[in-house]
Structures are given as C-alpha cells and as structure tokens.
Amino acid sequence: MSEIDDAKVTSSPLLIEAATVADYERIGQLTVDAYVQAGHFADPQHEYLKFVRQVARRDKYCDILVARKDGHLVASMTLIQAGNEYADIALEGELEIRMLSVDPGVQRTGAGKAMVVAAINFARQLADVHTVSQTTGERWLAARSLYESLGFIHRAERDWVVPNTDIRLVVYSLNLAD
C-alpha cells in the first residue's frame, strides 16, 4: 500500500521495507514455518495458516513490511488500522500489528524487535494514529517479553480466544505519547 512505499528502515544488517509482489510466496511460507516451528499450530494446513498464505489479497487492503538480511527475506508483518476487514483488535486511532513472523533460522537475533520498532516508527507518521496494538499467544513468553521491553502494556480486558480453537490471545498496546 502507498503509505509505506517510501518508508524504508535500516537496522544493520537488516533492511525493512514494503513488501513487493515478488515477496508474496516467501511471506506466506515464512509465516507458516514460523508458526509451526514455534508450536502455535501442529498442522501446516490449518485453516488459519491457509489464510496467512493469502498475501496478495491482504496486500490490497493492508501495509505489509518485510525485513531483509543480506538480500534474503527473513521477517514480515502486516499493519492494519481500525475499520479494515483484516483488523482483529484495532480500535479507532490504533495501528495493529498482525502476523509478525521471523524466519526460525534468525530468531533471537533482533529481527523481531527491529520489526516492532519499524511498526512504531511507521505509526508515528500517521496523523490519526496514537497507539500501536497487537496480540500474541498467552503462553508465547519470548514475544511477550519483547513487547514489554519496548513499553507495550498488557490490556487484559481486551484478551480473547480465537474462534473454534483453544488459543487464547493477549492484547498489548503502546501509547505513542508515552
């Protein structure tokens, strides 16, 4: 989408930029691989994982950022504002991070943190956005620790369970004025 077309963030040795059509297949596979490897889903053909593979459709309605290391796509995320059909939790004035995924081979190297920082910086460029929000799994302690280290606050009143699953998601938000 146009809002990030010119937004490139460099965090050596990562380049964070808008996804291109050529990235779509890799984004879908990377997301599935990251979710399965982390144990979030046992079956790579799970209905939700089929949904996350639909990158071309999602890119028509959302902003998708990718991180490249040495020219290779190693992370991706989708950024969504309230009212968008892809928004799960975004309230008015919020930018929601969804489907943040890091290649299992580069996890714990700072790529996830760089992506979240890029989302925060992107949100600061939007006049009508005052908060960044996201969900993560209740038991996904590494992700929760990362978000808390960046100043995100757990909003327990907004936690929810994914329909037709036993997956409990917790909501975090960061007020950009803080």
Q: Looking at the chain, how many residues does it have?
A: 178
| Whether the predicted pLDDT of 8 surpasses 70 | no
pLDDT in tens, 57-82: 999 999 999 999 999 999 999 999 99
Q: Are 106 and 69 in contact (CB under 8 A)?
A: yes
The CATH architecture to which 2-132 belongs is 3-Layer(aba) Sandwich (3.40)
Q: Are 56 and 24 in contact (CB under 8 A)?
A: yes
Parse the chain into domains and list their residue ranges: 2-132
Mind giving me the DSSP string for the chain? -GGGTT--EEETTEEEEE--GGGHHHHHHHHHHHHHHTTS-S-TT-HHHHHHT-HHHHHTTSEEEEEEETTEEEEEEEEEETTSTT-SSPPTTEEEEEEEEE-GGGTTTTHHHHHHHHHHHHHHT-TT--EEEEEEETT-HHHHHHHHHTT-EE-GGG-EE-TTS--EEEEEEEETT-
pLDDT in tens, 112-160: 999 999 999 999 999 999 999 999 988 888 889 999 999 999 999 999 9
pLDDT in tens, 94-115: 999 999 999 988 888 899 999 9
Environment class of 80 (CB within 10 Å of its CB; exposed 0-12, middle 13-18, buried 19+): buried
